[in-house]
Structure 1
């Protein structure tokens, strides 16, 4: 009986990060370029987009986190800095059912990449002349659900899904 149960049990999920890389990065210190003087109170907005694709090698996937950080001065809405970062990882993923692969790629993989993205953003903002920006933890599951709901709403309205 125990042998039958072991044979029916699904194989455990295996995930390995094979590589991590910065695909593209841009930091613009608008405050210095414009020569703004005086006290500024920053207001930071962060946008996150995720992309995943299958690689030619079996069970390998590339996941890219696209981050755009805009910091403006409260009150004047003058831009202080803009940071754009595309950070990717190559993952070896095995034993994830096909119907669960898409959420796995867009929730679990970015969760693994996020601490590295957080450090890069902190270092770049500090090196750019601002206090280090420590990103709040991103709830990738909520982000995935919100995107799925947005796509369903677009389909219901008859719009092409983007």
Structure 2
């Protein structure tokens, strides 16, 4: 009976092991354009957020660096004047084990950003507040939808490249 139980244990895949080893701001720029230009009044802001992700294998075994890159631009709804621009690259260092190779890329691009996003949200809030604006509390980012959209974009791009262009 014990032998049968041991055989069952051996068949189970090893549990995924992920640890955040560290996180930090890789690069950041905040421009208070409103103050630079001396614009006055109470502008009604319109916020635009662009998100990009990157992941790199590090030298140590099972270690990866995952980077969330945000480009946040605020414009006045009324005049279209830029109010501020925030560009930030926020990175997390992760130790990841027991993820099958074919699932590693989606894991790094979905689960890892999910882990560090709350900390990035706090940094963005603090920077915009310290820059003289109301704190910007970013909406939660659906990293799975972002990943799927990028995969779809790549498939469309490959189809476009593979399709012969019509002769004029």
Q: Give me the TM-score of the superposition, normalised by structure 1.
A: 0.96
Alpha-carbon distance, 1:4 to partner: 1.4
- What RMSD in Å do the two structures reach over aligned CA positions? 0.8
Question: Which of 73, 78, 82 is matched with 1:75 structurally?
Answer: 78
Alpha-carbon distance, 1:39 to partner: 2.1
CA distance in structure 2 between the partners assigned to 1:23 and 1:49 by the alignment: 14
Q: 1:108 matched to which residue of 2?
A: 111
Alpha-carbon distance, 1:2 to partner: 2.0
Q: 1:141 matched to which residue of 2?
A: 144
Q: 1:9 matched to which residue of 2?
A: 12
Q: 1:50 matched to which residue of 2?
A: 53
Q: Which runs of 5+ in 2 are unaligned?
A: 163-168
Question: Secondary structure of the equivalent of 1:32?
Answer: helix
Q: 1:89 matched to which residue of 2?
A: 92
Instruction: State the Cα deviation string for residues 63-109 of structure 1 (Å, max 9, x = none).
Output: 01101100000021100000000010110000000000000000000
4+ long deviations beyond 4 Å? none
CA distance in structure 2 between the partners assigned to 1:85 and 1:39 by the alignment: 26
Question: Secondary structure of the equivalent of 2:108?
Answer: helix
Q: Give me the TM-score of the superposition, normalised by structure 2.
A: 0.93
CA distance in structure 2 between the partners assigned to 1:30 and 1:6 by the alignment: 61
Equivalences, count: 159
CA distance in structure 1 between the partners assigned to 2:95 and 2:73 by the alignment: 33
Please tell me whether Structure 1 or Structure 2 has the larger radius of gyration of its CA atoms: 2
CA distance in structure 2 between the partners assigned to 1:99 and 1:27 by the alignment: 38
CA distance in structure 2 between the partners assigned to 1:3 and 1:78 by the alignment: 68
